[in-house]
């Protein structure tokens, strides 16, 4: 029998999986791959970003509410999901920035932060891992620690002497960074909206993103998944405390988005199999290596 392909995505908070790579995951699930999301924190310190959900009973029970939201999103995407068990660090604000809460995820030694991830890798045995770049995609302390833990776990999981209590060693074959909202995508969407005589609800947000000081990663891998954009949107809406269903995120019809930019994009960081970039498949080279 041929081996099923396995993909693991590592995220900082519940809802991150539905805004980064969700259509990719839905596509691979439909094609028969096993997909696991490891969520490093419970999102306990996240804000309520949907005005309709701003109610005392929700705010008082935000950790449980976000777990329930994650469970609904998991069902929509058809994936497996588990929490690593760490506490959300929150996003510090002010000048100077206040210290992070004691014991939160972002304050931990990377060896400790990576431990449940190593165990998950050895248990699930992914061929491909997706995670954030060193800036976290954006500089939230939990996103940055997720990057550090992912890189450490990728290297430690195959080493027998590392984390001996975490199960049998396993060597993932590829690791990618999410390339979220490259400037070219915003430009393509603006052109397509203009061609259809439609307003661009992303114009102001796109300008802010372009002005951010961050490293621009080359897109090595474009996964065509536009037929799953609505599934991804449904999963994101399941995180009702985190997204306003009437907000700009959903203002452009999926057929327009697909016409402008039908892919989700990644940067190949590590590969232990032969592959050539640009790629169209996260499992390029893996399929041959595992004889799928």
> By mean pLDDT, which of 9-18, 152-161, 181-190, 228-237 is the weakest?
181-190
Q: What are phi and psi of 178, to 5 degrees?
A: -65, 135
Query: What DSSP line would sit under 157-199, residue for residue?
Result: TT-TTSSGGG-S-----EEEEE--S-HHHHHHHHHHHHHTT--
Q: What is the reported pLDDT for 209?
A: 78
- Give the residue from 35, 33, 40 showing the smallest Cα distance to 9: 35
Which residue do the tokens 């991150």 mark?
16
3-state percent helix, strand, coil for the chain, nearest multiple of 5? 40, 15, 40
Annotated binding-site positions for Zn(2+): 13, 16, 143
Q: For 51-75, what is each residue's pLDDT tens digit?
A: 999 999 999 999 999 999 999 999 9
Q: Residue 213 above 80 pLDDT?
A: no
Which residue do the tokens 């770049």 mark?
133
Annotated binding-site positions: 13, 16, 143
- CB neighbour list of residue 241: distance below 8 Å, 6 or more residues apart: 46, 48, 49, 50, 53, 58, 62, 65, 66, 69
What is this structure's pTM? 0.96
Q: How many CA atoms lie within 13 A of 104 on its CB side?
A: 21
DSSP, res 202: T
Q: What are the extents of the domains in the chain?
A: 6-181+217-290
Structure tokens of 66?
């976000």
Radius of gyration of the chain (CA): 19
State yes or no: cis peptide before 278, omega within 30 of 0.
yes
Q: Residue 243 above 90 pLDDT?
A: yes
Across the range 128-151, mean pLDDT stands at 95
pLDDT band at 292 (very low <50, low <70, confident <90, very high): low
Q: What is the reported pLDDT for 2?
A: 65
pLDDT band at 234 (very low <50, low <70, confident <90, very high): very high
* Cβ–Cβ < 8 Å for 130, 220: no
> By mean pLDDT, which of 4-8, 30-34, 164-168, 245-249 is the weakest?
245-249
Q: What's the CATH number of domain 6-181+217-290, 3.40.710.10, 3.40.50.300, 3.40.50.10320, 3.50.50.100? A: 3.40.50.10320
Q: How many CB atoms neighbour CB 259 within 10 A?
A: 16
Distance of CA 71 to the CA centre of its chain: 16
* Cβ–Cβ < 8 Å for 198, 189: no
């Amino acid at each position: 029998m041929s081996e099923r392909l396995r993909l693991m995505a590592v995220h900082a908070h519940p809802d991150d999986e539905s805004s980064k790579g969700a259509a990719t995951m839905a596509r691979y699930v439909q094609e028969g791959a096993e997909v696991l999301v490891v969520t490093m924190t419970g999102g306990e310190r996240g804000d309520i970003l949907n005005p309709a959900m701003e109610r005392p009973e929700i705010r008082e029970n935000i950790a449980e509410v976000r777990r329930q939201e994650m469970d609904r999103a998991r069902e929509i995407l058809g994936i497996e999901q588990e929490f690593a068990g760490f506490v959300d660090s929150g996003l510090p604000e002010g000048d100077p920035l206040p210290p992070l809460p004691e014991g939160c995820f972002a304050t931990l030694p990377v060896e400790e932060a990576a431990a449940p991830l190593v165990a998950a890798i050895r248990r699930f045995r992914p061929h491909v891992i997706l995670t954030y770049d060193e800036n976290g995609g954006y500089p939230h302390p939990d996103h940055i620690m997720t990057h550090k833990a992912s890189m450490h776990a990728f290297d430690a999981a195959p080493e027998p002497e590392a984390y001996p209590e975490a199960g049998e060693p396993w060597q993932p074959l590829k690791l990618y960074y999410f390339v979220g909202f490259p400037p070219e995508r915003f430009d393509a969407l603006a052109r397509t909206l203009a061609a259809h005589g439609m307003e661009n609800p992303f114009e102001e947000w796109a300008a802010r993103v372009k002005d951010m000081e961050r490293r621009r990663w080359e897109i090595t891998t474009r996964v065509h998944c536009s037929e799953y954009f609505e599934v991804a949107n449904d999963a994101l809406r399941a995180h009702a405390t985190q997204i306003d269903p009437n907000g700009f995120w959903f203002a452009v019809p999926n057929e327009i988005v697909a016409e402008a930019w039908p892919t989700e994009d990644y940067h190949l960081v590590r590969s232990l199999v032969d592959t050539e970039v640009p790629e169209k498949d996260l499992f390029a080279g893996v399929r041959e290596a595992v004889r799928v």
